[in-house]
Amino acid sequence: MDDVVLELRGMCRSFGALKATDDVSLTLRHGEVHALIGPNGAGKSTLMGLISGRTTPDAGSVWLAGQDITGLSVAQRARLGLARSFQVSSLIPEYSALRNVMLALQAGEGHSYRFLRPVVFDRTLQRVGRDILDRVGLAARASVDAAFLSHGERRLLEIAVALAMKPQCFLLDEPMAGLGVEGTARLITFLQGLKQQAPILLVEHDMDAVFRLADRISVLVYGRIIASGTVAEIRANPLVRAAYLGEESTQ
Amino acid sequence: MDNARKEWGLNAILALVLFAVPLWAWLANEPFIITLATRVAILAIAAVGLNIALGLGGMVSFGHALYLGLGGYVAGIAAHHAFNGTPVLGLAGTNQMLPIWAIAMLVSGAVAGVVGALSLRTSGIFFIMITLAFAQMGFFFALSWPAYGGEDGLPIFMRNQFPGMNTSRPWDLFVIAYGVLMVALLLFALLRGARFGAALMAIRQNPDRAAAVGISPFGIKLTAFVLSGMLTGLAGAMMADLTRFVSPAMMAWTMSGELIVIIILGGVGRLFGPVAGAAILVGFEVFFGGLTEHWKLWLGLVLLAVVLFARGGLIGLIAGRARHG
Amino acid sequence: MTLALMLEQLLNGVQFGLMLFLMSAGLTLVFGVMGLINLAHGSLYMIGAFLCAAVAGATGNFWLGLMAGIAAAAAAGALIEVVVIRRLYDRDHLDQVLATFALILILSEGVRMVFGPFPLYLNVPDMFRGTVNLGIVDYSLYRLALIGFGLAVAVGLWALIAKTRLGIRIRAGESDREMIAALGVNIRALYTVVFALGAALAGLAGALVGAIQSVQVGMGEPVLILAFVVIVIGGIGSIKGAMVGALLVGVIDTMGRFLLPRLFALFLDTSQAMGVGAALASMLIYLLMALILIFRPKGLFPANG
């Protein structure tokens, strides 16, 4: 169990009568992509909220690198290396791409209470920030405000910001959404390399992408994990086919 | 890039004009104009303070008159006890500006800390209203507490002293106020460009994102709120010395409104927005106040037009959209 | 201190609270339905008072004045909604605060231009002159009438919102703006009507109160701030919250001013007790508001969940 980076133990969360998350346990190990799939309304967003700290659980705990982080705030979890990308691009609109990345870098260093030294003269922050933008292929767009980037560029910037957080693991919420065929293919290649740096918990609707990327897949239906296994196992699982893949094909 | 250059040019012109006009008035022996310029400078300092909370942090405080008044009362009470030779809270009063400023900033910073810690639990309209409520508490307390004049206010018989200056001369007082304003603007610029400013402005634009990269919004916002209150408190102490009078009116809600108006007229979040706004407000009062007794009607119309049609204020009108990136 | 004095102060508190309710109801409706924070609501109160005093003074008939006050406030409300307020619904709270702050300046100066700088006085209508014996205390008949009037308007407002088609639309507007558009309701007209209704209530309050205090420019703002305290305590958008908040504020403020100096007199000397008591009493409702917001950040009766 030494290689477990992120672990959920018996997470539960209800909203009124609705059990949005019902006794969910799962692990994320070094070097893997663990995909979380399920039909709309299966409780994926709630689960992401529970992991990132936006939502407090009724029961259960979250562990990051052997540490119980259940009681920590969103910001505290982020500083421990829980790097999250958002389903709908959520950047700082009036900041350039570079400054969005630099913000994550400065937060990761834990030094936001510096009042006088201009960030513009912080060579290290600038250089590391540019390197990261270069890695995702956004170097040429470094000085463009996030609000003026294209949809695809914003998705890449989301990844760049996550990279800047000294991540222990990535929490990627539908990174392929709206990317198109070519963009998706490029991102898949990139993520295949990324998982060596830190494992990825991936929520994604694009089944082709999931089957190409994932090492393991967990299927969430009505807040419960109904199956968990390798790509082949999940493809073959009749329960999953009935509950999920069948539904997907009718959409 | 072009807009940034225009803004810096405009800033330089504003700084220059604010110095040149009273300099001319000094040479031409027009003390009234020097006093007006001093008033502009001090109001601008107060608004630079508010601009930290409102412009950078997006916190619409409708109660910053509280800190202006607190600073004013610190100056008034210290001078009152120095004049009478009586102690206050076991300390002797003082008529030196520098220690008075330090105490004014400490007191308003401490109060801003409490008010901010409680108010930041709410947001939106509730934040506006709770900051207003705290300021009203201060206002009514000052109004009904008899020890320091109550609703009659507290006069400062002898203007407090500044080393090497003769503060009873308008020009000397102006130079002090102008110097403090320049330091305040420098601090604001540094703050905005530093990591703290980056975090604060990010929280204003997208608090969820800021938290997701590891910046806790509460601590950053509270720190900004305290700094903001301190600077406005300093301006309050100086304002008391300019008018040689402190009264609850300094804490009135219309004063809080005026501080916001100054920022809006100048341009929200702009470095020199408060300077431009204070100059417009005071200039408007003097110019139109001389023409018609109903000048506030015209001020209202101008303000309405700015809010409805010219969101960037004067600086936005001339230098275009703000850029923080 | 006698029981009679206590009762009188308590009634004063209730009367004050009900007038605050008339102010707050419009304010909270406008916020609930249109999401607008309107500082100029106090100016409508002032307009109601001025028109009532002027018309009553000219005709010698209080009731004509009252009608004129209500009509003028409603008309002024409808006018500024169409000319200014309408442009603010999609703006942030800062813009709304500033634009309506500008409206205060404009309306206050406008009233000063029309009516001059001196206060007007409004006489209590003949039929409500004098006092009425309530067993242990002789109480002002007019104030008692104000209590009755306030309660009647509250009931009328409740009936309007609970029972009429307009009320259904208002409630729909509070919960879901898209839905009323889908229902084919003319939103623009609805907003103007709601705003004018709130303005009429403010004008009514101003006109009624004008008979027990002087009618002057600036009279609206202290009441406006209290009305804000009321709706923040009650929960913005909730009429029920406005009623509870208004009575709380009215009674606590009045009783605080009456009781606190006397309470402190038990262990301080009289002049000191008066000072401390008065200072604390004037802060009491703001303290109450801060406390409520700290423990219930959305007020006592949050309107939208």
Q: Which of A79, A95, A110 has the CB atom closest to B202's CB atom?
A: A95
ipTM computed for the complex: 0.88
Contact B124 C93 (CB under 8 A): yes
The residue count for chain A: 251
Contact C105 B303 (CB under 8 A): yes
Kindly report the CA angle at B263 between C229 and B153, in degrees rounded to 5?
A: 60
Q: Which residues have C-beta within 8 Å of that of residue B114, sequence separation ≥ 6?
A: none
Digitized pLDDT (tens) for each residue of chain B, 325 residues in all: 578 888 888 899 999 999 999 999 999 999 999 999 999 999 999 999 999 999 999 999 999 999 999 999 999 999 999 888 888 887 778 889 999 999 999 999 999 999 999 899 888 888 998 899 899 999 999 988 878 888 889 999 889 989 988 998 999 999 999 999 999 999 999 999 999 999 999 999 999 999 999 999 999 999 999 999 999 999 999 999 999 999 999 999 999 999 999 999 988 888 999 999 999 999 998 988 888 888 889 999 999 998 988 777 777 777 776 544 3
The structure's pTM equals: 0.90
- The residues facing A35 across adjacent strands are A202, A217
Q: Which residues have C-beta within 8 Å of that of residue C192, sequence separation ≥ 6?
A: C78, C81, C82, C86
Eight-class DSSP state of B56: I
**H or E segment at A63?**
strand A59-64
pLDDT (tens digit per residue) in C194-212: 999 999 999 999 999 998 8
**In whole angstroms, what is the distance from residue B225 CA to residue B53 CA?**
5
Q: Is C240 within a domain?
A: no
**H or E segment at A12?**
strand A4-15
**In whole angstroms, what is the distance from residue B12 CA to residue B55 CA?**
20
- Answer yes or no: are the C-beta atoms of B261 and B309 closer than 8 Å: no
**H or E segment at A27?**
strand A18-29
Residue C148 has pLDDT above 50, yes or no: yes
Kindly report the CA angle at C111 between C96 and C189, in degrees rounded to 5?
A: 45
Domain count, chain C: 1
**In whole angstroms, what is the distance from residue C186 CA to residue C170 CA?**
12
CA-nearest of C31, C91, C97, C81 to C231 is C31
Share of chain A above pLDDT 90, in %: 47
Domains of chain B, earliest start first: 2-319 (1.10.3470)
Structure tokens at C159: 């009936």
Q: Is C123 within a domain?
A: yes
Q: Which of A86, A91, A113 has the CB atom closest to B196's CB atom?
A: A113
Q: Which residues have C-beta within 8 Å of that of residue C30, sequence separation ≥ 6?
A: C36, C38, C41, C194, C195, C198
pLDDT at C303: 67
Contact B296 C109 (CB under 8 A): yes
**In whole angstroms, what is the distance from residue B141 CA to residue B32 CA?**
33
**In whole angstroms, what is the distance from residue A132 CA to residue A216 CA?**
27
For chain A, the domains span 1-81+168-251, 91-166
Q: What type of residue is C194? A: V
Eight-class DSSP state of A245: I
Tell me which chain C residue has its CA closest to the CA of residue B132: C225
Kindly report the CA angle at B49 between B150 and A126, in degrees rounded to 5?
A: 160
pLDDT (tens digit per residue) in A185-204: 888 988 998 988 899 999 98
DSSP alpha helix (H) spans, chain B:
2-27, 31-51, 65-84, 97-119, 125-144, 170-193, 195-205, 207-212, 217-243, 253-266, 273-291, 295-309, 313-319
Q: How distant is the Cα of B306 from the closest Cα of chain C, in angstroms? A: 9
Q: Is C259 within a domain?
A: no
Q: Which of C109, C236, C279 has the CB atom closest to B144's CB atom?
A: C279
Taking only Cα atoms into account, the Rg of chain C, rounded to an integer number of angstroms, comes to 20
Show which residues on chain B lie within 8 Å of chain A, measured between beta carbons: 190-191, 193-199, 201-202, 205-206, 208-217, 220, 223, 322-325
Q: Is C273 within a domain?
A: no
Q: Is C244 within a domain?
A: no
CB count within 10 Å of CB C106 equals: 22
Note down the domain range covering C19.
8-216
Residue A88 has pLDDT above 80, yes or no: no
**In whole angstroms, what is the distance from residue B286 CA to residue B39 CA?**
12
Contact A76 B216 (CB under 8 A): yes
Structure tokens at A25: 């346990």
Domain A1-81+168-251, CATH number (from 3.40.50.300, 3.30.70.930, 3.90.1150.10, 3.40.190.10):
3.40.50.300
